[in-house]
């Protein structure tokens, strides 16, 4: 008995010291602490990337709608003599498009955040802000018309106001998300700039300027967003 014990290899006993810092990956292979930390960090990065909402399909659709919708309106108004602006249906269509963009943004936010708690409160606040913005937009146009604003002034407002509301909502939502969406935030800032400055082109040209400035911006962000999220 003692001979067996004396002949046993002492290396078979549990080891201490530096080996206690190692972990096993489940296949018998040992990983040191640095490798384990790298694996955990990589898994965390993949999880954050999956939580980041993707807007590519909706951005492409909205970009094309703005190019063709606003572009067609510009072509119609270009031939008006005398100028009397678009019919009310055109403004209603532009506003409807803006509402659809906002609602799609809310749904995308839901897919990238939780369904309860602070995330749910943020989505409700965003939706209420969007509705308040559009109600205020219609109210302001009514006030301008009642004050005697000319048809060209109202035309510029009808072209730019929906884009301004979308830009502000995109900008605010994207930078306040748990994982900020900087490409869409940049798009929102660009829309605000376009809405604030394109009216200087005139009542007839404002629709064409915004078709060329807004539509391609949506398409550009749709093309760049996947690469920007991977960087």
Would you state the structure tokens that stand for residue 163, as one six-digit string?
Answer: 């884009």
- The whole-angstrom separation of Cα 87 and Cα 158 is 11
DSSP string of 126-155, one letter each residue: HHHHHHHHHHHHHHHHHHHHHTT--HHHHH
CA–CA separation, 184 and 165 (whole Å): 14
Share the mean pLDDT of the chain.
Answer: 74
| 174-200 pLDDT, tens digit each | 777 767 788 888 999 999 999 999 999
- Residues 200-210: pLDDT tens digits? 998 889 999 99
pTM, rounded to two decimals: 0.69
Contact indicator for 177, 113 with CB cutoff of 8 Å: yes
Q: Rounded to whole angstroms, how far apart are CA atoms 195 and 61?
A: 20
pLDDT of 50 above 50: no
pLDDT at 145 over 80: yes
CA–CA dist 185, 26 (Å, integer): 43
């Amino acid at each position: 008995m003692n001979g067996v014990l004396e002949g046993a290899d002492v290396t078979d006993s549990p080891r201490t010291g530096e080996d206690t810092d190692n972990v096993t990956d489940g296949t018998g292979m040992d990983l040191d602490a640095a490798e384990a930390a790298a694996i955990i960090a990589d898994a965390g990065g993949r999880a954050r990337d999956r939580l980041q909402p993707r807007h590519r399909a909706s951005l492409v659709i909205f970009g094309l709608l703005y190019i063709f919708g606003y572009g067609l309106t510009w072509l119609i108004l270009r031939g008006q003599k005398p100028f009397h602006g678009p019919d009310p249906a055109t403004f209603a269509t532009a506003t409807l498009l803006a509402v659809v963009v906002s609602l799609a943004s809310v749904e995308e936010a839901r897919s990238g955040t939780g369904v309860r708690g602070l995330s749910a409160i943020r989505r409700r606040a965003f939706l209420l802000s969007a509705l308040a913005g559009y109600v205020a937009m219609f109210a302001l146009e009514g006030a301008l018309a009642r004050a005697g604003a000319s048809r060209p002034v109202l035309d510029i407002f009808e072209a730019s106001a929906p884009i301004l509301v979308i830009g502000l909502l995109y900008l605010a939502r994207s930078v306040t998300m748990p994982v900020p969406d900087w490409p869409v935030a940049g798009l929102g800032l660009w829309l605000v700039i376009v809405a604030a400055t394109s009216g200087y082109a005139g009542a007839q040209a404002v629709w064409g300027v915004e078709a060329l400035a807004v539509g391609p911006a949506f398409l550009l962000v749709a093309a760049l967003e996947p690469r920007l999220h991977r960087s």
